[in-house]
Amino acid sequence: MLKFEEKISLTMTNIDKLKQFRSGVYTILGKARDALFDLMDAVLVTRSVYSFVELSVSPVFRRQWSSIYEALEDGNPPRSELMKLYIKQLSQTQQIVLAGDHTAWPRLDARTLKERTYEHQAQPISGAKPVTVGQGYSTIAVIPETEGSWALPLLHERITSFENPIEKAAAQLRLVCQTLSTRPLSLWDAEYGCASFVLQTADIAADKLMRLRSNRLLYGAPPPYTGIGRPRVHGNKFKLNEPTTWWTPDKMLEIPDPKLGRLRLRLWCNLHFQQSAKTNMHLFQVERLDEESSRIFKPFWLVWVGEGIPELCQIWRQYLRRFAVDHWYRFAKQRLHWTLPKLGTPEQCERWSDLMPLLTWQLWLARGVVSDRPLPWQKSITNLTPGRVAQSMAAVLATIGTPSHLPKPRGKSPGWSTGRPRPRKIRCPIVKKSTTRQKKQHSQSA
């Protein structure tokens, strides 16, 4: 147990670190930084809000309501510089664990918003099509803890109409790894467990752990060359949903788990996708052996692309850390009011989205400063979640203050002149992305 003096010293250190982070962000933001800082503070202290403009009535927002939209129109937070500032807050002694995913910002009724696309969105109703109309955002975040719901975004960017999630994630991973001083471990969902992502990230200095869909087809290493004909590129087929195609695993282990019961772990080495035959992968299967339950559990497939082979009993626990990104998406939409505003341009949407990582990092740095203040219907917890830290941010902001300056009113604008016609906004069609496939060229006979 820490003594009282040690706790006070530790708290002051965390407060100074938070103040330095906010001052560094203030110098980086550039244009409209005062209004952007007041807007972020209003989000941190406002639990629920009906409309986006209601954030202007927060006590920490010291400007007029129109300054919220002017800040998103004039400001342009530099993502690369902010990402470097985020990385400076990380401990360089431990291996950095990254997780990537993408989500949709639904804008079904925004007919004048450019570059709306069809995006995937899970529906609570069984049988409903998991599709919505809006904009997709790709995120790559640091997972700082082995358990919990904390995910610290480094990049949170819009997927344009001429990009797909795999291309965007590969570009983000490349940019992050160029800034990191150590080789990270990156975790990816089943959508990224494909040959396209493996090829686009083959030259990136990062280990990749990806989940595979149960209908994936892999190939083993080719047999030695016999000297006749063309050397084989692929070995035997390994189809995940056909056990008859499996061969004897290179390693197998059964371990007990306090939550899931008895687990069977298998490892197959040196497999590859058909389109990425030069990249060897290691395949893991996690099978739950619950004899007491009548339910049949499907095997859980993981694939490792990187240096060495991780421990069989720890690899699946590492992947479970990826789900913190899903928790962050839910937290950003519900508590940080990410998808609340009905902004008119993609640029405004991007600038508002750039504030989401900033808000999350401030909550992470304030975690060692605040104490749990549960609502009457909540239970006290020891390891504070992002939502619990946000409930105590009003007292923190009152203590540390803000680096932004007071507003300087310049009089009242005359507004829109009477009788001046208002032009109708142009309605933009929904962009439908298509997969372009190269046509096979047949050689013409002479």
Which residues touch 427 (CB under 8 Å, ≥6 apart)? Answer: 111, 112
How does the average pLDDT of the chain come out, rounded?
89
Q: Which residue has the tokens 């060692």?
A: 368
1-10, 223-232, 262-271, 436-445: lowest mean pLDDT where? 1-10
pLDDT in the model for residue 438? 53
Mean pLDDT, residues 390-394: 93
- Tell me the CATH class for 96-223+232-334: alpha beta
Please check whether residue 180 is in contact with residue 87, taking contact to mean a CB–CB distance below 8 angstroms.
yes
Residue 6 above 60 pLDDT?
Answer: no
- According to the model, what pLDDT value does residue 4 have? 37
Continuous segment of H or E residues that includes residue 272:
strand 261-272
Helix, strand, coil abundance in the chain, percent, nearest 5: 35, 20, 50
Q: Answer whether 49's CB lies under 8 Å from 61's CB.
A: no
Q: Please give the sequence-ordered ranges of beta strands (E in DSSP) within 146-260, or none if there are none.
A: 152-159, 185-188, 207-211, 217-220, 237-239, 251-257
What is the tens place of the pLDDT at every residue in 129-169?
A: 889 999 999 999 999 999 889 999 999 999 999 999 999 99
- Cβ pair 52, 342 in contact under 8 A: yes
pLDDT at 293: 66
User: Which amino acid is located at 322 in the chain?
Assistant: R
- CA 285/CA 304 separation, integer angstroms: 11
Residue pLDDT, tens place only, 85-137? 999 998 877 889 999 999 999 999 999 999 999 998 888 787 788 899 999 99
Nearest to 141 by CA among 181, 103, 172: 172
Q: What is the pLDDT of residue 35?
A: 93
pLDDT at 208: 96
Q: Pairing relation of β-strands 261-272 and 251-257?
A: antiparallel
Show the tokens assigned to 132.
């919505």
The pTM of this model reads 0.91
Grouping H, G, I as helix, E, B as strand and the rest as coil, residue 98 is: strand
Q: Distance between CA atoms of 312 and 252, rounded to whole angstroms?
A: 8
- Among the listed ranges 72-81, 274-283, 409-418, which one has the minimum average pLDDT value? 409-418
For residue range 10-54, list pLDDT tens digits in order. Answer: 466 888 899 999 999 999 998 899 999 999 999 999 999 999 999
Reported as a pLDDT band with limits 50, 70 and 90, residue 72 is: very high
User: According to DSSP H, which parts of 75-111 are helical?
Assistant: 79-88
For 270-318, the pLDDT digits (tens) are 999 999 999 999 999 999 887 666 677 888 999 999 998 888 888 889 9
Q: How far is the C-alpha of 351 from the C-alpha of 176, rounded, in Å? A: 20
- Which pLDDT band, with edges at 50, 70 and 90, does 193 fall under? very high
The predicted model gives 317-323 an average pLDDT of: 93
DSSP 8-state symbol, 341: -
Contact 23, 402 (CB under 8 A): no
The arithmetic mean of pLDDT across residues 59-81, rounded, is 92
Task: Give the pLDDT band (50/70/90) at residue 446.
Answer: very low
**What amino acid occupies position 53?**
V
pLDDT tens, position by position, 420-437: 998 898 999 999 887 655
Q: Exposure pattern of 255-289 as b/e (b: 16+ CB <10 Å)?
A: eeeeeeeebebbbbeebbbeebbeeebbbbbbebe
pLDDT of residue 384: 92
Contact (Cβ atoms closer than 8 angstroms) between residue 354 and residue 79: yes
Angle at 221 between CA 218 and CA 226, to 5 degrees: 135
| pLDDT for the residue numbered 96 | 94
Q: Cα–Cα distance between 152 and 223 in angstroms, integer?
A: 45
What are the residue ranges spanned by the domains of the chain?
1-76+341-372+385-404, 96-223+232-334
For the chain, state the CA radius of gyration: 25
**Region of residue 261 (phi > 0: left; psi between -120 and 50: alpha; otherwise: beta):** left
Cα separations in angstroms, 106 against 18, 120, 192, 375: 33, 10, 22, 31
DSSP structure class, residue 431: B
Give the tens place of pLDDT for each residue, 399-409. Answer: 899 998 888 87
Tokens representing 263?
A: 């687990």
Token look-up 């962009």 returns 431
How large is the average pLDDT for residues 62-85?
A: 92
Greater confidence, 224 or 438? 224
